[in-house]
Structure 1
Amino acid sequence: MRVKSQYLFVIAVVVVLVLAFTIGTIMSRGGKSGHAEAKTAGDGALPTVQAVLTPETPREYAVVIRGRTEAARSVIVRSETAGVVAATPATEGAFVRKGTVLCRLNVDARQATLDQARANLRSRQLQQKASADLAAKGYRSQTQVLQDQANLDSAAATVRQAELGVEQMSIRAPFDGVFDRRDAEIGSYLSPGQPCGTMIELNPLLIVGDLPETEASKVKVGAPASAQLTSGETLSGKVRYAAREADAQTRTYRVEITSANPQMTRSGLSAAVRIGAGAGPAHMVPLSALVLDAGGRQGVRYVLADDKVAFSPVKVLEETPQGVWVTGLKGPVRLITVGQSYVAEGQKVRVVAAR
């Protein structure tokens, strides 16, 4: 069948329009791609990072641990003899001086025994004096004089024994401190060794903590230390003891700090403890600048003089609101503060000042 000429004309026009549209689209895409490539080439292929010059600063090193306050001494005061508690003069929880009576037992017949011993002592003293006078006049032998002196010494010893028996009826504070807890009440019967109460010494006060294995070697006896208590108080002191053997369970080392405590701060308060560990160079860096390398080490990335990236492992000394103090860097460094996670060691970068 023969196609009419007007149809052929229409088909030809459609084909021409389709070809023109297709060619135009391809050329447009090619132009945009070329423009983008030209723009990229113009900007350069180096990644951009922000860096800040960080100086090296002398800094006191400190070991920071969690600790708690403890009484310097805690003693359960016990009865040396048997008896019924007749009085409890000391108030529970009060500060008492050394020698203060905490519990007094009923003296019973001990006072009578003491009185009898003293009377016997006075008799022996008169007898010994008379014997010595007679011996001086030749009416007494030396043997009799020595016997009378021995009797006098025995009587004196009996008096001393009776006095100790009476004295033991008063259970006294062994040192200045707080009578923290009373275990015996009036009417209680105490056998030898049973407790009257507990005495604790709070001045000086102990601040104790546990050093990890990595920090134990840095702490020396006599090092200055401070403690910020949960109550808001701050105590200062010195290290009096640092264990040489680790705890079998925690693998930590006990450290004890003594601090003057005239205000009688309580035992058992939690504390943030700082112990001086010498001084040396350090750098202040933003916390966000810390990264991990391929080996999992914590450190920072910085830019060398030839604008290549370098990595240095660091150790955090202290965290502050302004940043963290670290060791491991030497001299002033151009620390990367933005872009440090997207560059690698040895890579050349374009450096701009940190905003």
Structure 2
Amino acid sequence: MRLKPQYLFVVAIVGAVAFYFIARSLLSLGAPATAHAKAATSAGPAAGPASVQAKLIPEVVRPYEVVVRGRTQATRSVIVRSETAGVVAQAPVLQGTFVKRGQVLCRLAVDARQAALDQAHAAEKSMELSQQQNAELAKKGFRSPTQVLQGQANLDAARAAVRAAEIAIGQVDIKAPFTGVFDQRVAEVGTYLSPGQPCGTVIEIDPLLVVGDVPETEAARMKVGAAATARLVSGQTLTGRIRYVSHDADPQTRTYHLEMTLPNPRLDVRSGLSAEMHIGAGAGPAHLVPVSALVLDSAGRQGVRYVVGDGRVAFAPIGVLEETHDGVWVTGLSGPVQLITVGQSYVADGQKVRVAAAQ
């Protein structure tokens, strides 16, 4: 039986491929020795230690600062409420106005309170006259001591009624409890206020507070009375002092509440502005290192690599104090350090290196 030409062509191709792989296997038997010989020839002498660039970083004593994000806040904020019932007859202060302590914010209609006061005065006068008569008759023996004491009690009750009527009239004036800003007025003329209903809100912004939350890692360094500065979102920089650091952490954020107080005599700084607090926390050793020198170790800690005396690489975890245009001020290093500035990401701890001066 004769094969068709196309089948013969396929058989030829398959045979050629099989021959190629058989020949390749036979020729590769002596290759390993030749390859090793070539590798040994090309390698030449053993490679030396890795080369890195390093720079000597001195240790300096630098003031420590803790930076906390926060916001400005009124020192006090009080909703001023009515002590009695009545219709607002006057609202003499516009909201947003500076007010002094005792200034009237809302005035209720007096109504029958004045009549009650007049009646109490009349009763007091009557009791005074009656008591005078009792005293004169007692001298003549026409009044017993008990009657004299009863008359004095009646007079005292009349005087107390006068005082109560005076207080009731005084309560129609709803006054500012302290010097500050009448920030929001709720009641307008004609509004009926029951006892406890608000006239408006008074806030104190001189002095002003800057509040924030400090992480638990920095809480121990915060001291009441420490000097601090606040950089506001508006660009202003104000100085003040820490007045309060909480002793109990927030259970969810594990942070401690902190308050800074600063003067605001012109009332030009408003409550609620974003601020960045820079709080003094003593002084101590620090090193200024380039940002590019910072690396992470296998545990994910941020730090730097440096060269010790025998030319080997060491790693030190660091804490960042402040970032500047010249570099980063860090803690965690001791004394002058031969800091690796080039090649720090390509060497391992304990590795022997050749050091070249940083350019």
Q: CA deviation at 1:255?
A: 1.5
Which residue number in structure 1 is paired with residue 348 of structure 2?
Answer: 344
SS in 2 for 1:331: coil
Does 1:93 find its partner at 2:104?
no
Residue segments in structure 1 that go unaligned for 5+ positions in a row: 1-32
Which residue number in structure 1 is paired with residue 325 of structure 2?
Answer: 321
TM-score, normalised with respect to structure 1: 0.84
SS in 1 for 2:169: helix
Task: Output the CA distance in 1 between the equivalents of 2:92 and 2:133.
Answer: 46
Does 245-254 or 64-73 show the bigger shift? 245-254
Pairing 1:150-229 to 2, within 5 Å after superposition: 150-229=153-232
Q: CA deviation at 1:137?
A: 4.5
SS in 2 for 1:217: helix
Q: CA deviation at 1:139?
A: 4.4
Which residue number in structure 2 is paired with residue 334 of structure 1?
Answer: 338
Which residue number in structure 1 is paired with residue 75 of structure 2?
Answer: 72
Does 1:105 find its partner at 2:92?
no
Does 262-271 or 221-230 show the bigger shift? 221-230
Does 340-349 or 81-90 show the bigger shift? 340-349
SS in 1 for 2:254: coil
TM-score, normalised with respect to structure 2: 0.83
Task: Output the CA distance in 2 between the equivalents of 1:206 and 1:63.
Answer: 18
SS in 2 for 1:326: strand
Q: CA deviation at 1:143?
A: 2.3
Aligned partner letter, 2:310: D
SS in 1 for 2:283: strand
Which residue number in structure 1 is paired with residue 122 of structure 2?
Answer: 119
Which residue number in structure 1 is paired with residue 306 of structure 2?
Answer: 302
Q: CA deviation at 1:125?
A: 1.9
Task: Output the CA distance in 2 between the equivalents of 1:128 and 1:320.
Answer: 85
Does 1:278 find its partner at 2:282?
yes
Give the fraction of aligned pairs with identical amino acids, expressed as a percent. 65
- State the aligned residue count: 320
Task: Output the CA distance in 1 between the equivalents of 2:147 and 2:212.
Answer: 69
Q: CA deviation at 1:222?
A: 3.0
The change in CA–CA distance for 1:142 and 1:267 in structure 2 (over 3 A counts) is same
Task: Output the CA distance in 1 between the equivalents of 2:132 and 2:283.
Answer: 77
Pairing 1:248-259 to 2, within 5 Å after superposition: 248-259=251-262
Which residue number in structure 1 is paired with residue 13 of structure 2?
Answer: none
Q: CA deviation at 1:47?
A: 2.7
The change in CA–CA distance for 1:136 and 1:236 in structure 2 (over 3 A counts) is farther
* Structural RMSD (CA): 2.2
Q: CA deviation at 1:246?
A: 2.9
Aligned partner letter, 1:144: Q
Does 1:129 find its partner at 2:132?
yes
Which residue number in structure 2 is paired with residue 234 of structure 1?
Answer: 237
Task: Output the CA distance in 1 between the equivalents of 2:314 and 2:337.
Answer: 10
1:54 pairs with one of 54, 57, 63:
57
Q: CA deviation at 1:305?
A: 2.0
